[in-house]
Amino acid sequence: MAGVAASGRRQRAWVPYAMIAPGVLYLVVFFAIPIYTLFKTSLSVNSGSRFVPTLEFSWQWSNYTEAFSSYQEQIARSFWYALIATLIMIVMAYPLAYVIAFRAGRLRNIMLGLVVLPFFVTFLVRTIAWKTILADDGWVVEMLGTIGLLPPEDRLLSTPWAVIGGLVYNFLPFMVLPIYVSLEKIDPRLLEASRDLYSTPARTFGKVILPMSLPGVLAGSLLTFIPASGDFINAEYLGSTRTRMIGNVIQDEFLRVKDYPVAAALSFVLMAIIIVVVIGYTRVLGTEDLV
């Protein structure tokens, strides 16, 4: 009997490893190996022609210095646009999530459905739709010109604000949903206790609701800032050559110039900066729920 029990325990010990094996295999095949290949490419030299590139691994660290020094403007612009878009999304998403969590009542599911409804249309189609909306002969430009908010010679398309607006629109649901989940998890009894202690609504929000919803703000910020900083579609369709982001540069280096080592180095520079920013942000605003 003891041998049977020991055999059963050994078999059960393998169950957790068997359960995570598919996920680990997936990460190795589709993440670890591509990252290794990209890193090896970033340290290679292109000894072929533009049309037939031939890569030779040679520990070419100068690819990183060239990538960073040549495209500092695009790197800075990408993170600046992503930061502004993230701040705008926080300002827009928090009141909406608050209303859905505490005031929507029977309309809660409908409002949540409206939040995720844009995902039923592809990212590219949504961006092209914004290009049509913000066109020089579109109704938005005409309306702003009529009320005097946009001078006759100015335009919305091909400007930084068009790119930022596209980022806000495309990534806003990723900010609303985490904040909503954090707000929805707050125990109503805490709010009742705050009112019983004669706290004002503003003080209840500042001392109870806001601190307890910070995990959602942090999660939403990361879910929007990270993809926004590497985005290239909005800058491609809503911007101009003066609003190019680092994602556009990487795309061109890979697909048009075919300078694979510099493109790979730029990708790692972007990842490294994002990691540093995320670690710093989570240390400042981090909570026990996420870090």
The enclosing domain of 80 has a CATH number of: 1.10.3720.10
245 in any annotated domain: yes
- Closest alpha carbon to 274 in 266, 286, 264, 285: 266
97 in any annotated domain: yes
Does residue 95 surpass a pLDDT of 80?
yes
Q: What is this structure's pTM?
A: 0.86
pLDDT in tens, 209-236: 899 999 999 999 999 999 999 999 999 9
Taking the mean position of all CA atoms in its chain, how far away is CA 139? 30
- Mean residue pLDDT of the chain comes to 87
pLDDT in tens, 6-40: 555 666 677 788 888 999 999 999 999 999 999 99
230 in any annotated domain: yes
Does residue 290 surpass a pLDDT of 70?
no
272 in any annotated domain: yes
Whether 222 and 210 have beta carbons less than 8 Å apart is answered as no
Overall domain count for the chain: 1
196 in any annotated domain: yes
Q: Is 155 left (phi over 0), alpha (psi -120 to 50) or beta?
A: beta
Does residue 261 surpass a pLDDT of 50?
yes
Rounded distance between C-alpha atoms, residue 221 and residue 227, angstroms:
10
* Domain hosting residue 187, numbered range: 70-285
| Percent of residues, the chain, with pLDDT higher than 90 | 52
pLDDT at residue 9 in the model: 60
pLDDT at residue 6 in the model: 55
User: In sequence order, what are the residues at sequence separation of 6 or more whose Cβ sits closer than 8 angstroms to the Cβ of residue 83?
Assistant: 225
Mean per-residue pLDDT for 119-130? 91
pLDDT at residue 291 in the model: 42
56 in any annotated domain: no
pLDDT at residue 76 in the model: 94
127-156 core/surface letters (b: 16 or more CB in 10 A; e: else)? beebbebbeeeeeebeeeeeeeebeeeeeb
Mean per-residue pLDDT for 46-56? 75
14 in any annotated domain: no
pLDDT at residue 166 in the model: 94
pLDDT in tens, 126-182: 999 999 888 888 888 888 888 877 777 778 888 999 999 999 999 999 999 999 999
Rounded distance between C-alpha atoms, residue 25 and residue 123, angstroms:
29
Does residue 246 surpass a pLDDT of 80?
yes
pLDDT at residue 112 in the model: 92
Burial class (CB within 10 angstroms; exposed 0-12, middle 13-18, buried 19+) of 157: buried
Rounded distance between C-alpha atoms, residue 260 and residue 46, angstroms:
8
Does residue 5 surpass a pLDDT of 60?
no
Rounded distance between C-alpha atoms, residue 227 and residue 236, angstroms:
15
**What stretches of 105-259 show up as alpha helix (H) in DSSP?**
108-116, 123-133, 139-146, 160-184, 188-196, 201-204, 210-229, 233-238, 246-255
244 in any annotated domain: yes
pLDDT at residue 170 in the model: 94
